Structure 1
Amino acid sequence: MVRKVDFPIPELEEMEHYPPHLWYKGNRALLARPKISIVGSRRPLSYTRSAVMQLAAALSRRGIVIVSGAAMGVDALAHRGAGVSNTIAVMGCGLDHRYPAINASLIGEIEEKGLVMSQFEPGFRARGWSFVVRNETVVALGSVLVVAQADRDSGTMRSVAFAEKMGKKIYVLPHRLGESEGTNDLLKEGRAEAIYDIDAFASLFGASEEASGGEDFILYCKSAPSYEEAVKRFGDRLFEAELEGRIAIENGRVILL
């Protein structure tokens, strides 16, 4: 069900103009948790794809909610890496549309288990300018902005401009010469910091659940439990670990690698 926001969201005070209207579907309690925004290219390199999944999962394990824009590429990877119950998707259309269509299934999962938000009333179809509006909201919600990959003069670099105007710290993934020239420019100009170690970066925002006295996921996996039992017990965390290459599923059993 689409609901109209009737409560304040302090982070949005950093926008040039506080949104006059907001709609949402899902778990509004995620707004009260620490949040980091991750954005980037719709055509990520294989290196970027892997790094974004690992980064979003590492932050999620530390209780950080990942905010992105549900677009193809980096956005979708960030949502998936975080786990759909630990992510906020900000849309450039009304919440009765799931755009882009290629991510309709992902958006539907986030509606059910995470949080989907929009400044646009139901019935509104995305326009070029509405994505710019969406980007400002994505940036405002996070305490910092992570830019995974970006070309010069891309929409992602508009998000960087919003972050700088809001005084937010910007982090980027390091790239080779000739790739992701937008983020390389940010590093060269001293406008961003590089993430050279994903776990070290994630640790800036808290301890991993696995090291904080909670249920010991690694110890559990060492017992080679059945896949069905592990899914029931750990849900999204199991999928994250598989994507990160920390576990494998063999003959219906979870194997720690």
Structure 2
Amino acid sequence: MTALSQEEAFARIRLLRSPNVGPVSYRQLLRRFGTAQAALVALPDLAGRSGAYRVADEGRVANEVAAVRGAGARYLFHDAAEYPVLLAELDSAPPILTCRGDTTLAAKPCVAIVGARNASAAAVKLARQFAGDLADAGFVVVSGLARGIDGAAHQASLNGGTIGVIASGIDIAYPPEHADLQEQVASQGLLLAEQPPGTEPLARHFPSRNRIIAGLAAGTVVVEAAPKSGSLITARLAGEAGREVMAVPGSPLDARAQGCNQLIRDGAILVQSADDVIELISAFSGAPRSTFRESVASFDYGSDELADTPADVAGLLTVAPIGVDELIRQSGESAAAVQLALLELELSGRLVRHAAGRVSLTL
């Protein structure tokens, strides 16, 4: 990409911080209007005829930029040469990240290691072994800096290369007892955050954090996880992205192992050592051997320019998620027209985007 001017970089941050603008709509707006500065001018009209829509306040964004600099961090835009290549393949990839550390780590072979916060001593030991062996073999270990398995994985891979993805702003350490570890990751590895500085880690931020972890890596290893845990969300997102999903089996008598055992039943690859992981990832060519994934819509969201006239698709939508490609088939409209209709619904706060290219009306 050509170097961004200060004005356009500021406008991009302001665009993303504007109401109801998410990763997909952000890219659509840039495609349609060419620059974030032009998109900001057009946003109120696109959002509806009431005139109530207002883009993000300039002063608030200026304070954010100052806070990022104050934290010793910088912005990483989606079309920058150093933006992680595997992460960029996701339709929902964050358009803007804040980062501290060595961004070249994301260009190396990456493996995510995740698991229970209240992990058993045996699982923590195993996570350290996996992470240390993977780092020694030249792999970068990605995790979420949580208690338990995440922390163990980061600690064991600090010297070899590790990436921490946090659910808070880049200036917030969570959990508090990992403040020193987070600083070590930032100084010796790479620390990434999607949320603006000053943002406390709320429950809704963790699934978003998990998609980044899954997106950065060619494969995700779940060491220990209870049913319905965040680690299983990461595994599902990795499967949806077409990446390897691996799990360490455990005793059926331990609730913390039930999630991993279920993953294996559902098609994840059973792994018992770092060598098993290395064999899978080294042979990864974009067609994973694990079969743990849900059906993913095949529509190419970036193939069409947005049309001038949106399709009337609101009547086809309900609160139940449906694939965009199905909406295109049922509406009889062009893909570009349907995308513009969805963009207008999203900006007006009436649309929710889900994983695997599905959308629904808000409740």
TM-score, with structure 2 as normaliser: 0.54
Structure 1 residue 31: Cα displacement: 1.3
Larger Rg computed on CA atoms = 2
Paired letter, 2:115: G
- The structure-2 alpha-carbon separation of the partners of 1:123 and 1:67, relative to structure 1 and needing over 3 Å to count, comes to same
After superposition, the C-alpha distances for 1:119-168 in whole angstroms (9 at most, x for unaligned) are 11111111101111100000000000100111111111111221121111
Q: 1:96 aligns with which of 171, 174, 188?
A: 171
Verify: 1:181 aligned to 2:181, yes or no: no
**Alpha carbons 2:138, 2:160 under 8 Å: kept:** no
Give the Cα–Cα distance (whole angstroms) in 1 for the partners of residues 273 and 117 of structure 2.
Answer: 23
Structure 1 residue 109: Cα displacement: 0.8
The answer for the alignment partner of 1:131 in structure 2 is 206
**Alpha carbons 1:15, 1:137 under 8 Å: kept:** no
List alignment gaps of at least 5 residues for structure 2. Answer: 1-71, 283-363
The answer for the alignment partner of 2:114 in structure 1 is 39
Paired letter, 2:227: R
After superposition, the C-alpha distances for 1:20-46 in whole angstroms (9 at most, x for unaligned) are 220000111111111001111001111
Give the Cα–Cα distance (whole angstroms) in 2 for the partners of residues 170 and 2 of structure 1.
Answer: 31
Paired letter, 1:57: G
The percentage of aligned residue pairs carrying the same residue is 28
**Alpha carbons 2:185, 2:191 under 8 Å: kept:** yes
Paired letter, 1:49: V
- The structure-2 alpha-carbon separation of the partners of 1:80 and 1:5, relative to structure 1 and needing over 3 Å to count, comes to same
**Alpha carbons 1:84, 1:109 under 8 Å: kept:** no
The answer for the alignment partner of 2:245 in structure 1 is 170
Q: 2:150 aligns with which of 75, 98, 101?
A: 75
SS of 1:122 mapped into structure 2? coil
Bigger relative contact order, structure 1 or 2 (CA pairs below 8 A, ≥6 apart): 1
The answer for the alignment partner of 1:117 in structure 2 is 192
TM-score, with structure 1 as normaliser: 0.76
Q: Runs of 4+ in structure 1 displaced over 3 angstroms?
A: 197-206
Structure 1 residue 200: Cα displacement: 4.6
**Alpha carbons 1:21, 1:120 under 8 Å: kept:** no
Structure 1 residue 67: Cα displacement: 0.3
Paired letter, 1:92: A
**Alpha carbons 2:247, 2:268 under 8 Å: kept:** yes
List alignment gaps of at least 5 residues for structure 1. Answer: 207-257
CA RMSD across the alignment? 1.6
The answer for the alignment partner of 1:199 in structure 2 is 275
**Alpha carbons 1:22, 1:117 under 8 Å: kept:** yes
Give the aligned length: 205
After superposition, the C-alpha distances for 1:177-199 in whole angstroms (9 at most, x for unaligned) are 1221011111223x211113433
